[in-house]
Amino acid sequence: MRVLKYAILGLLIKRPMTGYELAKEFNFELAEFWHASHSQIYPELKKLNNEGLVTFDVEISGDILEAKRYHITEEGEQDFIQWLHKDDKIPRTQKDVFRLRMYFSNNLDPQTRIHLLENQRQQHLKRMNNLLKTSEQYPEVPDLDSDRFGDFIVLKGAIMRQESIINWIDLCIKYIQEGSSSK
């Protein structure tokens, strides 16, 4: 499906970027829902360039350090916009190692289960606080056509997801406490 292709094209519509900058984007705003590291990005940029969907200018900083600043072409923009209109079939599976572990949790004693859950809880709570802090950047809903709008709604979604996960963990802990005290 070449999602990375479209992730890159979408970012380049905002502004021309180097491979290094693209890699950074995947570690900030987009990090909750997409990621790619530079070892994937550089070959993909080369491919997109061969396909005529992006071009680049070489910039020099200092004496010799070269950076390729990639721009999206007219063709690339058309391809991206076309992709953007497509309906997604919701994936049957969202892989989640922790939930797989919990699926098998009858093989653990109650204390261990609670330890594992508390550990997850703490990590999710920490992320939740980071997301809430980030969302302070948005005292109000950005304009629909602003490129902040997308970040705003996926951030909201990340917070809601986080909330739901923490509630689930708390529910699991409750079940385990009730189930083990009654014995």
Partner DNA sequence: ACCATACATGTCAATATATACATGTTGATT
Partner DNA sequence: AATCAACATGTATATATTGACATGTATGGT
The C-alpha atoms of residue 28 and residue 44 are separated, in whole angstroms, by 20
Residue closer to DNA by CB (options 23, 176) is 23
Contact of residue 15 among a copy of itself, DNA, none (CB under 5-8 Å per partner type): none
Contact of residue 46 among DNA, a copy of itself, none (CB under 5-8 Å per partner type): DNA
Does 42 contact a copy of itself by CB under 8 A?
Answer: no
Number of residues lying near DNA (CB under 7 A): 32
Instruction: Kindly identify the residues of this chain, within the stretch 161-180, that bind a copy of itself according to CB under 8 A.
Output: 161, 163-165, 167-168, 171-172, 175-176, 178-180
| 121 and 169 Cβ atoms separated by less than 8 Å | yes
| 31 and 54 Cβ atoms separated by less than 8 Å | no
| 72 and 80 Cβ atoms separated by less than 8 Å | yes
- With CB under 7 A as the contact rule, the residue among 66, 88, 136, 140 that binds DNA is 66
Which amino acid, one-letter code, is at 115?
Answer: H
For the chain, the C-alpha Rg in angstroms (whole number) is 22
Instruction: Kindly identify the residues of this chain, within the stretch 5-24, that bind a copy of itself according to CB under 8 A.
Output: 6-7, 10, 13
Contact of residue 105 among DNA, a copy of itself, none (CB under 5-8 Å per partner type): a copy of itself
- With CB under 7 A as the contact rule, the residue among 6, 13, 16, 21 that binds DNA is 21
Range in contact with DNA (rule: CB under 7 A) among 55-63, 75-83, 119-127, 168-176: 55-63
Does 103 contact a copy of itself by CB under 8 A?
Answer: yes
DSSP 76-97: HHHHHHHHHTPPPPPPS----H
In order of 34, 155, 158, the CA distances from 28 in angstroms are: 10, 11, 13
Contact of residue 40 among a copy of itself, DNA, none (CB under 5-8 Å per partner type): DNA
The three-class DSSP label of residue 138 is coil
Does 94 contact DNA by CB under 7 A?
Answer: no
The C-alpha atoms of residue 153 and residue 142 are separated, in whole angstroms, by 9
The C-alpha atoms of residue 149 and residue 142 are separated, in whole angstroms, by 5
* Residues forming the site for DNA (CB under 7 A): 1-4, 18-21, 23-24, 35-40, 42-43, 45-46, 59-68, 93, 95
